[in-house]
Structure 1
Amino acid sequence: MDNTTSGSGLAARVTHLTKTYGSGDGSVRALDDVTVGIRRGEFTAIMGPSGSGKSTLMHIMAGLDEPTSGRAWIGDTEITGLDDQALTLLRRRRVGFVFQAFNLVPTLDVRANILLPFDLDGRRPTVAESERIRNLVATLGLEERLTHRPHELSGGQQQRVAIVRALATGPDLVFADEPTGNLDSRTGREVLELLSRASGERGQSIAMVTHDPIAASHADRVLFLGDGRVVADKSRQTPDEISAHMLRTEQEQARSAA
């Protein structure tokens, strides 16, 4: 699949990853010996039925959760066993996040939320970063909202702010969890085109968890998970091809649970 042993050309990778919740008879294995990598400069969609382990995989790859066993790297840095301070610094400087729940700071206006990664890092945006932020704000139609607080925005507007914040520092790697889940189709398409450009034109690596075959069709590569394992690794797919594969994966997962 990927050269996951050396990490060559990979923005993130995991080897022999297992994640178990609970213990004894009540334990649930969310990931089962997964070895996979996210290639540099590529837009990867991670799909699978509910309970397939896709969000758990993303959270461990991003250093937001720890595996039960196995190893994880961001670039050439192994993050399994890294202390909290070093992990926080690594994420802040090299990784962007877009969550379905937005995770905006309610007391800050839009401008301050977008600039939060810089404030946390104790610096101001460079000229190039400021220009990138202006372009992102304009593309996502947020110019008139910069002084508003999150509660004054629609869900779609909040998600757009979260996406600008994630891309503002130009991170090597962006993790997106259902980034279009709360957006109308037009805004969702704009967001997906932004993510595509971030990988295609700026060489950023995008890993997106999604249920939506149309969203996944914008990706260069689609990973399908089922029962905590990678069951398929496909290059760019049409929405119909993705839907058909998702249906097969769901049927197989239902059969194995029966």
Structure 2
Amino acid sequence: MTTALPIPPGAEAPSAHPVVAARGLTKHYGAGDGTVHALRGVDLTVARGEFVAIMGPSGSGKSTLMHLLAGLDAPSGGDIRLGGRDIRGLDDDALTELRRERIGFVFQAFNLVPTLDVIGNALLPFELRGRKPSREERAFIGALLDELGLADRLGHRPRELSGGQQQRVAIARALAGRPELVVADEPTGNLDGRTGREVLCLLEGASARYGQAIVMVTHDPVAASFADRVVFLADGRLVAEQGRMSPEAVAGFMLSLEAGR
């Protein structure tokens, strides 16, 4: 399977323009002595065309951070800007619209609609927006599905696909609407090593080829090695960030975090 993704209509070259920026981000649950501090003053900026992996020990706050960046939860303090827009204080309807229009999601469990075939799942973002894709958008989606190795599976439902094929459909759905930000939660967790690497190459290509900002939560050093930058959390704090790292370097740093707990 090739990983050279098609260029979408109106695509721009990657730039340093921030897609999502968090400042002083905090999140706590409960009150009094039972308060749990999931995040403690995290700053993070992700630019167009940047693929960022978030890593950390269990309970470090990495999933909480991803949920906040994607507007799936509200912070206790600090601010989050998506495309320059402050998303704190948006009501549920506004957040739902923001997620539909500007964020794509790739989950470990695929989360495909079982009654829809491949093309139906890929077009779901447009259905949720209440509009049909343009001719140019349909051409891009068709080319995307072809590059993902799904051209001969368009009429198949999820149960008729392998795990790797289902995750490719999920990637097509996430990219089809050309969102500014794609969040991926353990996207290779249910895949074998070879298929997982193919999926990571696709995500890497999406950021490099036409400027998707991708934030991926993972526990896998191999997965993190595909990212342009690796961000490490511990006890709710951002404790380090590095440029592209080898799997061995990622694993070594994670061991040092575990040992220091």
Q: Could you say whether these structures have the same fold, taking a TM-score greater than 0.5 normalized by the shorter chain as the test?
A: yes
2:99 matched to 1:91? yes
Question: Which residue identity is paired with 2:140?
Answer: R
| Aligned counterpart for 2:194 among listed residues 186, 192, 197 | 186
CA contact (8 A) 2:109 2:190 kept: no
Measure the CA separation in 1 of the matches of 2:203 and 2:99: 19
Measure the CA separation in 2 of the matches of 1:76 and 1:217: 29
Percent identical: 62
Deviation at 1:141, TM superposition (A): 2.3
Alignment correspondent of 1:3: none
CA contact (8 A) 1:129 1:170 kept: no
What is the 5 A alignment of 1:56-75? 56-75=64-83
2:238 matched to 1:230? yes
Alignment correspondent of 2:60: 52
Deviation at 1:69, TM superposition (A): 1.5
CA displacement 1:1-42 (0-9 Å, x = unmatched): xxxxxxx82111111111112223332111111111112211
Q: What are structure 1's unaligned runs of at least 5 residues?
A: 1-7
2:108 matched to 1:79? no
Alignment correspondent of 2:211: 203
Question: Which residue identity is paired with 1:117?
Answer: P
CA contact (8 A) 1:40 1:203 kept: yes
What is the 5 A alignment of 1:101-120? 101-120=109-128
2:261 matched to 1:245? no
| Aligned counterpart for 2:19 among listed residues 8, 11, 20 | 11
- Range that drifts further, 194-203 or 59-68: 194-203
CA contact (8 A) 1:14 1:73 kept: yes
TM-score, structure 1 length as denominator?
Answer: 0.90
| Aligned counterpart for 2:138 among listed residues 105, 130, 139 | 130
| Aligned counterpart for 2:151 among listed residues 134, 143, 159 | 143
Relative contact order higher in (CA < 8 Å, ≥ 6 apart): 2
Report runs of 4+ in structure 1 exceeding 6 Å deviation. none
- Range that drifts further, 219-228 or 124-133: 124-133
Alignment correspondent of 2:179: 171
- Range that drifts further, 212-221 or 133-142: 133-142
Alignment correspondent of 2:12: none
Question: Which residue identity is paired with 2:129?
Answer: D
Query: How many residue pairs were aligned?
Result: 246
Question: Which residue identity is paired with 2:116?
Answer: L
Measure the CA separation in 1 of the matches of 2:45 and 2:74: 17
Alignment correspondent of 1:4: none
TM-score, structure 2 length as denominator?
Answer: 0.89
